[in-house]
Amino acid sequence: MQPSNSYYFFKSALSSDQCKKIIDYGESLLISKKSKGLSTAATTLGNNHKQGNESGGIPLGDRTHEQLYKETGVEDTEKHSYVRDSETSWFNDQWVYDLIWPYLIEANEKSGWKYDIDFGEDIQFTKYGLNQFYGWHSDGGGCNHRAYKRYVPGVTPTDKDGKWPPTYTPNENLVGKVRKISMTINLNEAGSYDGGNLKFDFGPHAGGKRFHECIEIRPQGSIIFFPSFTYHQVTPITRGTRYSLVLWLCGKPFK
């Protein structure tokens, strides 16, 4: 499924001061986690991020696994490579949702999606340094199989660190819901980094318009919304540091 409007964006929606406030706050959360001996490494559902238990030593970058195999000759590239390398911190401060929500309402309406959205997940602050990236992935499937399940203490299995499976949640507002719209905000000043573009794969049916790098949202404070089932990536950083804010908007599964 691919809607007629594949994404919807607002150029320079947030001010420089608002972006700096978010960066300073996100960085303070990263520093706080590190001071407590906690990892700030971004994770993935399949545990194939750089620090994941099953990760190998080859960064996937902006390549597909087929391309990686052709370049390296390494068998089973999914086992011997990693798809994500960045730092993240999380928060749910209401003032940030208040900034974002009017743009979500407008994007959902004017794009023609008109998805049933009633809850936003915790907000992810992401920091990409030199050569860091997030390879091809989608944020959600939209069907009942991808809906969040209720985490029940003492009943739901946890890993050795006491973490519940990523498809479960202790948040009652998320139970039975799926990610429908994804959002990214570019927090950086213009020219402060190279690479690090949001790139979409709209599928083979899109022909010559299959792949698209969103340079439209490079201006500081730009916000982009897109359906969460869309395959996308963040290309490797070649200079500087990229800061972004990510949010997933949820509702009941598509029918």
CA dihedral (43, 181, 92, 176) positive or negative: negative
pLDDT of 1 over the 60 cut = no
What is the mean predicted confidence (pLDDT) over 239-254? Answer: 97
Query: 40-44, 72-76, 111-115: lowest mean pLDDT where?
Result: 72-76
State the pTM of this model.
0.94
Contacts 24+ apart (CB under 8 A), 200-205: 200/6, 200/7, 200/226, 200/230, 200/231, 200/232, 201/136, 201/230, 201/231, 201/232, 201/233, 202/2, 202/6, 202/230, 202/231, 203/2, 203/231, 205/2
Task: Using the predicted structure, report yes or no on whether residue 124 has a pLDDT greater than 80.
Answer: yes
Select the highest-mean-pLDDT range: 105-119, 145-159, 205-219.
105-119
Of the candidates 190, 211, 215, which has an alpha carbon nearest to the alpha carbon of residue 202?
A: 211
Cα–Cα distance, 235 to 245 (Å, whole number)? 16
Predicted local distance difference test score (pLDDT) of residue 3: 67
Least confident of 99-103, 134-138, 164-168: 164-168
Separation between Cα atoms, residue 221 and residue 13, nearest integer Å: 5
